[in-house]
Structure 1
């Protein structure tokens, strides 16, 4: 079952997810006077290239006005990629690309609170799913369940449903809520409004951890484990979507490097957790291990609270930091 779903997903990504990389001059596109974190707007069509766009009130009460310096004519000269070019697995890099610089350039961005928050929340959301994926075969293929490997794969069905629910929550629902908050705020969009709905995975995922841990320890019915897995899987999509979109909104000019850093670091954490979770559960027991996971998850997602109240001031302060290497 897992092989079938993975194959379908691979083919879908191969055929329907095109390459979007173009060699653009980001500094010219955003305007020479625009700094990181100073542009927040949910609709780029609200203003033409020559208009002043009021985007957000600064902590001092003044509205930040950004003049778009983008000239539409050079963009028209960029040839549209063919379908085969968009589907290509390899793309030619600009001749002036320094691969070593590209590798180390994202690293200083970890000091930005939004980037650190997105990394931590993504890491724990992935790690807890990895824990269940590693352990479920030892549980369901042993007494009293005695499942065959082919049946064991069905535990991925609630995980898929949880991922879908998380995608809707972190994507569509958060967008609707953010739009509503912007209208209530006289049309001013604030990235921190996205963080409010983290309350949903903050409740569902820890409950799923506890349900799965107790279900295994008390040898409850297999549906208990399935429900627990599905609930934990909600966080794997909802939390990263919210966190990384928040980073993109808060630090638009730095978004590519910041998101690259977030994805790289969370994989390191998941890899390390992969090698330690079995021994941890064996020594601590399922109830203690998964109960600890639930507590850690709530503690990390609770970092959204100070970000919600002080995130705007933090963004305006960090936008003045000059810690990023040249593009």
Structure 2
């Protein structure tokens, strides 16, 4: 993501985010049909099969693109200017001569060489590489990004954990197959969120850059956080109130669709923002954001079911909406 041109970074980040986050909505949709027509065990076995196929595909079809850059310095260039003393009038034609030009070619690797595990790996100590990202946890941009990603993930996964207790019980009494259809608006929300957080934000940033005479500010991306902020906060309240008061399934579907916007919009915006702010250490920063968001999300989701049992859906989703809105307060 680091080499991506700035005005396209949001769109490319949106593709990346929807690829890793879409499973939270697409997976449960398919799972309902598997459980109904096969068994819940086959849901796990199919996951194992696809995980194995994915591993084999990556092993043989995704080569290592990095290489050691020692010895591949910039070519030396010497420029000399000369003029003709007998030029007519004052017209002087500068002539440029280039000397000392030398380029060292990178030898193309064979397919077998690209499969080597040590191909292109840095000589940096692995222990140092492991701890290198952690000091950046105090960066405000990193904190902002991983908290937003964490809460967005919590909201979506919490709905998927809790909706079977609601839709497969009275008054709905849905089968697992029909229950899985709640993820259709979730997928729509994911796609819209990736577009809004990526392409739309890129267009906004280009407009802001022109307005500021060609000066680009990374904080420009944060203004459009208002879109998932409004939609997701309203979706949390609608879903929690709809479940507790046994409203029509339509209200639950709409609520979940609005919640799902944040799962792709927030990380797309914030991780592109982090990339803009910390481009030289882009890989380490994004690795840190993705790792920390999993820890925070696990902490929330570990207790969400007993939390609902103790306080009810309205309180739980109302509090989560407040936390989400609080962590999305624009830093700019």
Instruction: Give the TM-score taking structure 1 as reference length.
Output: 0.71
- The match for 2:168 among 138, 141, 150 is 141
**Contact 2:66–2:120 (Cα < 8 Å) also in 1:** no
Matched, 1:150 2:194: no
Matches within 5 A, 1:99-178: 99-178=126-205
**Contact 1:130–1:270 (Cα < 8 Å) also in 2:** no
For 1:148 and 1:172, the matched residues in 2 are separated by: 38
- Compared CA separation, residues 180 and 148, structure 1 to 2 (3 A): same
Matched, 1:22 2:66: yes
| 2:214 aligned counterpart, secondary structure | coil
- Compared CA separation, residues 248 and 95, structure 1 to 2 (3 A): closer
For 1:280 and 1:251, the matched residues in 2 are separated by: 38
Counterpart in the other structure of 1:269: 296
Matched, 1:2 2:30: yes
Q: Which has the larger radius of gyration?
A: 2
Q: For residue 223 of structure 1, report the CA deviation from its aligned partner.
A: 1.1
Counterpart in the other structure of 1:77: 106
- Compared CA separation, residues 276 and 186, structure 1 to 2 (3 A): same
Q: For residue 92 of structure 1, report the CA deviation from its aligned partner.
A: 4.4
For 1:176 and 1:72, the matched residues in 2 are separated by: 41
Unaligned stretches of 5+ in structure 1?
32-49, 51-70, 309-327
For 1:73 and 1:250, the matched residues in 2 are separated by: 33
Deviations 1:202-240 (A, max 9, x none): 100010000000010010111111111110000000000
| 2:303 aligned counterpart, secondary structure | helix
**RMSD between superposed Cα atoms in Å:** 3.4
Q: For residue 20 of structure 1, report the CA deviation from its aligned partner.
A: 6.8
For 2:63 and 2:142, the matched residues in 1 are separated by: 24
Instruction: Give the TM-score taking structure 2 as reference length.
Output: 0.70
For 1:280 and 1:89, the matched residues in 2 are separated by: 49
Q: For residue 81 of structure 1, report the CA deviation from its aligned partner.
A: 8.0
**Contact 1:208–1:232 (Cα < 8 Å) also in 2:** yes
Q: For residue 98 of structure 1, report the CA deviation from its aligned partner.
A: 2.3
**Contact 2:239–2:255 (Cα < 8 Å) also in 1:** yes
Counterpart in the other structure of 1:206: 233
Matched, 1:253 2:280: yes
Count of aligned residue pairs for this structure pair: 262
**Contact 2:236–2:320 (Cα < 8 Å) also in 1:** yes
**Contact 2:64–2:119 (Cα < 8 Å) also in 1:** no
Deviations 1:105-132 (A, max 9, x none): 1111011111111011111111111110
Counterpart in the other structure of 2:87: none
For 1:155 and 1:117, the matched residues in 2 are separated by: 30
- Compared CA separation, residues 178 and 257, structure 1 to 2 (3 A): same
Q: For residue 97 of structure 1, report the CA deviation from its aligned partner.
A: 4.0
Matched, 1:301 2:328: yes
- Compared CA separation, residues 220 and 109, structure 1 to 2 (3 A): same
For 1:199 and 1:103, the matched residues in 2 are separated by: 35
Q: For residue 90 of structure 1, report the CA deviation from its aligned partner.
A: 6.5
